Every structure is written in C-alpha cells, then in structure tokens.
Amino acid sequence: MNYNLIAPYYHSLSQLFFLNRQHQAHFLILNHLKNGDQLLWVGGGAGKFIPELEKLNLELEIDYVDFSSKMIEFAQKETTSNVKINFIVADIFEFKTNKSYDVIMTTFLFDHFQQKRAEELFIQLRNYLRPKGIWFYVDFVQNQKGWQKRITAIMLRFFRIAIGLTISELPEMHSIFDQYFKAIERQHFFKKYIESIVYQKK
C-alpha cells in the first residue's frame, strides 16, 4: 500500500465525500485526555486533527506513526507548543517500542487489513497500552446496511486502484475489543456509517 500519491488530496477527498464527518469523528477523544498523557497514534494521516489537541492546553506526548512519508510531511506542518509529537514513518507491524501508553488512537486503521492481520495488529497494540488505558477507535461501522455496503464496495475498489489495498471486506473488530476492553463512550456519524468508540482496558 502506498498513500504518497494521494496524500496531497486525501483530506479534501474525505471532506467532500463524507462531508467532513471523518474529521468530526475524532472529537470524542478530547473528553478523555489528561495532562501528561502519553499517546500512540497510528494512522493519523496528514495530521489535520493535531490543532484540536493543541487547543486543550494539555501537556501531551504523542508517538505519531504512519507508513506514508508524505502524510508525515503534511502532519509535521501542524505546529504545537503544548503537545510534543514524535513523527515516525513506519509500517506499524514493524514498529517496536519499550514504551507503554496511556492512550492509543487508531483512526481508520483496521479497514486496511484482512481479519487475521487486523487481529495480529490488535494484539500488538494492546500490549503497548497500560492497565485501564484508553483505546480510541474510529472506523466504518460493522453489520452494514445496503447503502452502506455499496459505499464500502466503491471505496474499497477506489483504494485498490489508488494505493494497492487488497481487502475485499472490512474486518470484524467489535468482538475482539470486547474480550479485553469496555466501551465507555460511543458516537456515530454520517448516518451511522462512521463510529467513534472510547474503549478502556479491562
């Protein structure tokens, strides 16, 4: 997969197609951050949500991992003073750290992977999260209705051409999360096509 070619247009395409709801779906996490939190943010893309974190006036440290160097370049243009961001260009499966985090953010991440690979990634990231830590999950809903399935099929075909995406259906993540996490807040967007869930580690 390679996002570099569409990185300059990705945010604009998202705003146009989803009426900015992908961006709005991020705001739920703002209620669950506290001063001094260490975050791992995977799949933050061009970093358009970074200014909202800065507005909290909290001292946060973020390891910001994305496999697209162009996305990271755009994200680095979002200046911060309270939020320290370590930008890391890496395939998340190859990302290794001895750190443990208070918060993990995965925003439209799992929809890139087949079920088995998504579960492997879940296990990897879960091990980086501290007890009672927060996992902020944003993605397209599961158990989709007819029109939602049609949009998903179109989207997957587009990304198969644009970035080399290989999946034909979205992985099922709710049952995986429910084994190890408790959902403490949830919101839906774009006629319940996009969901934001704040999970707390059991």
- What are the tens digits of pLDDT across the range 14-53? 676 676 789 899 999 999 999 999 999 999 999 999 999 9
Of 1-10, 67-76, 141-150, least confident by mean pLDDT is 1-10
Cα distance between residue 180 and residue 9, in whole Å = 36
Residue 198's pLDDT is 99
Q: What is the rounded CA–CA span in Å between residue 36 and residue 186?
A: 24
DSSP structure class, residue 70: H
Q: What is the pLDDT of residue 16?
A: 61
Average pLDDT of every residue of the chain: 93
What domains, with CATH codes, occur in the chain?
Answer: 6-201 (3.40.50.150)
Q: DSSP code of 168?
A: S
| 1 has a pLDDT exceeding 80 | no
Average pLDDT of 145-165?
91
Q: 107 by DSSP, 3-state: which?
A: strand
Beta bridge partners of 182: 200
pLDDT score, position 19: 66
Between the two ends of the chain, the Cα-to-Cα distance in Å is 33
At residue 9 the predicted structure's pLDDT band, cuts being 50, 70 and 90, is: low
Mean pLDDT for the stretch of residues 152-161: 90
